[in-house]
Chain A
Amino acid sequence: AQKVTQAQTEISVVEKEDVTLDCVYETRDTTYYLFWYKQPPSGELVFLIRRNSFDEQNEISGRYSWNFQKSTSSFNFTITASQVVDSAVYFCALFYTGTASKLTFGTGTRLQVTL
């Protein structure tokens, strides 16, 4: 079974703090893709990153960074020096290329950044 677990339901931080959002996934496939999406209050899901199962390199994009570890089936997302505009719900998702390929989302983590 394919499953994505985001154990943190809600996180509150003060602006400029660093914050890490956890994502643990389960799949029997050897080929799969992991995604992070941001859903601001407007409701539209915004793509942040895609990583395939063969690429364990960490990635940094500005204040965002991602740590992919196959050994622990985790794909964690860190925001450095958080800002109020980072307040949103963040979803981790797994795309597997089986007979019924589809995107399976975690339950999301609501991040609240305050001044």
Chain B
Amino acid sequence: KAGVTQTPRYLIKTRGQQVTLSCSPISGHRSVSWYQQTPGQGLQFLFEYFSETQRNKGNFPGRFSGRQFSNSRSEMNVSTLELGDSALYLCASSPGLEPYEQYFGPGTRLTVT
């Protein structure tokens, strides 16, 4: 089975721009979660989607949004980028809503200049 894939792997954006990151879960997995990883804050939960519905959201401003499509693929969007949004964005998929182990993708490294 193919693992979780994330595109793009690297991205450089300018302050004020917006960005969309994409995640394709493992085939058959219906739950997708997003995390932000920074040296200062560590790994922080952004949101979780299941069957195209956002189930949970972390403590992030409204500039961070996401969605899930009928094929379970997910995108996250960050609008009006700030320097502090520079981070590794990790996507994880799991089979369902139970606390199964989450399988992580390689991440998208976003740099905001």
Contact = CB atoms under 8 A, between A and B. Distances in A.
A35 B104 CA distance: 13
Interface size class of B (residues with CB under 8 A): 20 to 34
A45 B42 contact: no
Interface residues of A, number: 23
Contacts of A102: 33, 45, 48, 56, 58
A102 B54 CA distance: 12
B106 A50 contact: no
B47 to A, nearest CB: 9
A17 B100 CA distance: 32
A-B residue pairs, 10 tightest by C-beta: A45-B104, A105-B43, A95-B99, A47-B101, A33-B99, A102-B45, A44-B106, A107-B42, A100-B56, A50-B101
Interface of B: 33, 35, 42-45, 48, 55-56, 58, 88, 90, 92, 99-107, 109
28 contacts: A37-B104, A42-B106, A43-B106, A43-B107, A43-B109, A44-B104, A45-B90, A45-B92, A45-B104, A46-B104, A47-B101, A47-B102, A50-B99, A50-B101, A52-B99, A95-B99, A97-B99, A100-B56, A101-B56, A101-B99, A102-B33, A102-B58, A103-B33, A103-B102, A105-B44, A106-B42, A107-B42, A108-B42
